[in-house]
Amino acid sequence: MDDIFELDVEPPARTASDREAFFVPKPGLSGLAPDFFAPAPTGCHRKKNSKSTFPLNPKSAAFLARHYPQAKPCQWNQWHWQLKHRITSLSVLETVLDLTADERKALQPGKDMLPMAVTPYYASLLDPRDPKQPLRRCVIPTMDEHRILPCEEGDPLGEEQDSPVPGLVHRYPDRVLFLVTDFCSTYCRYCTRSRRVGKRETAQGPGRWEAALRYIGRTVQVRDVLISGGDPLTMPDHALEYLLQRIRAIDHVEIIRIGTKVPMVLPQRITASLTHMLKRYHPLFISIHSAHAEELTPEAALACSRLADAGIPLGGQTVLLKGINDTIAALTSLFQGQLRNRIRPYYLYQCDQVRGTGHFRTSVNTGLDLIRGLRGHTSGYAVPHYVVDLPRGGGKTPLCPEYFQGRDRDELIFKNYAGELFRVYDPADVFASQKAGAA
């Protein structure tokens, strides 16, 4: 299991963990097909299949023609090509964006900084002239990341303290978080795990997975496994299937979930072969991270449609970010757009107290006001749970606007979404007193 080989296509590595994310073991498991670990085909000479073709939105088409004139649309639409051509350096980024002095300074090599990496596809969605564009702010570093507040930590959620074996977090009684890779195709600047993603802190691949798999196998109360990272969907099909097969073979595991941003930043990864494989491991759920409605392109729509058509329930996870999505209009557009793409908005996170993220964080009152502005003004399906992931491993805690105003004798007083007061007769105490009198 310790022997590994390299895939035929590997993205240019900024860090050692970037390289290691694309290693998988040699065959050796019984019951697997002989070609299970064979590298995926590359190039444009594939079997013709109309279902494998992604649309090119106008921004991406113009970006491809301008910056990659030698590349064909069929290459652009291959996820291996996108990974191979990730933008990871100042010298390349400045050819596609008009960088500010602040962005330029932040892109200089720095100790313990979250690496910068953006797929060409996602770069095509960035406004080259507007440094305040929401998508650009999500992925291009600024010097604000070097301002560390006293409350901010490298591991604000205390994941390491709840890690019984490397790569596994067991915080809640019946479920575990399985961190299977530290690699992402595109790095969000507010990442909760910026302490580890894109850095060589933990070895990648089955050598690390085995300890976690053994732990899950012997811990019978675990019924739900969330596969996350990094981004698990950046792994090749055979590596991901290896994990799913091993987890599904554990009798007491009922549910498998995958957390990913791939449909938004690398939608070409959601191939027909991937979805065909995933549907063999139901019940399987996928949580999709998205930050802004501008991410919901035709390509992202097709990626989500493929996953949903494979019978996979899709949940939406969004981080509340100052200057990016902290308005009722921005969140309404995003959550309604998610529903149109069969993603049920599930969590709206208060931005975690990660080192260097203070410029992204709103007040909790802002979040409560936004939920109040959504509720009643759009479908309830489009209103997620607003949660704070408590520091030091306290877990997710929901926050709700106060609608219950108190009691007036036998009536409860409520304020609705429009601010109007209503009374509801509550006979609970009356029945209790009558029962006591009869006794």
Whether residue 59 lies in the annotated active site: no
Question: Which of 138, 184, 304, 351 is the catalytic position?
Answer: 184
Question: Which of 138, 188, 304, 351 is the catalytic position?
Answer: 188
Question: Which of 14, 105, 172, 369 is the catalytic position?
Answer: 172
- Taking the alpha carbons at both ends of the chain, their separation in whole angstroms is 72
DSSP 354: B
Whether residue 309 lies in the annotated active site: no
Of 335, 352, 357, the C-alpha closest to 344 is 335
Whether residue 175 lies in the annotated active site: yes
Question: Which of 14, 322, 396, 415 is the catalytic position?
Answer: 396
Whether residue 191 lies in the annotated active site: yes
Whether residue 188 lies in the annotated active site: yes
Alpha-carbon gap, residue 309 to 217, rounded angstroms? 31
Of 335, 328, 351, the C-alpha closest to 288 is 335
> CB of 178 within 8 A of CB of 135?
no
Buried b (16+ CB within 10 A) or exposed e, 278-291: beebeebbbbbbbb
Question: Which of 18, 155, 182, 352 is the catalytic position?
Answer: 352
Question: Which of 86, 136, 175, 189 is the catalytic position?
Answer: 175
Other C-beta atoms closer than 10 Å to the C-beta of 423 total 13
Strands of the 168-169 sheet, one edge to the other: 168-169, 175-179, 224-228, 255-260, 284-289, 314-320, 343-350, 385-390, 395-399
Whether residue 172 lies in the annotated active site: yes
Q: Helix 206-218 and helix 237-248: axis angle, to 10°?
A: 20
Whether residue 44 lies in the annotated active site: no
Burial (Cβ within 10 Å: 0-12, 13-18, ≥19) of residue 382: buried
Alpha-carbon gap, residue 184 to 231, rounded angstroms? 5
Question: Which of 136, 189, 193, 257 is the catalytic position?
Answer: 193
Compute and round to an integer the Cα radius of gyration of the chain.
Answer: 24
Question: Which of 105, 171, 248, 344 is the catalytic position?
Answer: 171
Amino acid in the structure at residue 97:
L
Peptide bond into 131 cis (omega under 30): no
DSSP 3-state of 194? coil
What distance lies between CA 39 and its chain's CA centroid? 26
Question: Which of 122, 190, 191, 326 is the catalytic position?
Answer: 191
Whether residue 400 lies in the annotated active site: no
Residues catalogued as catalytic: 171-172, 175, 184, 188, 191, 193, 352, 389, 396
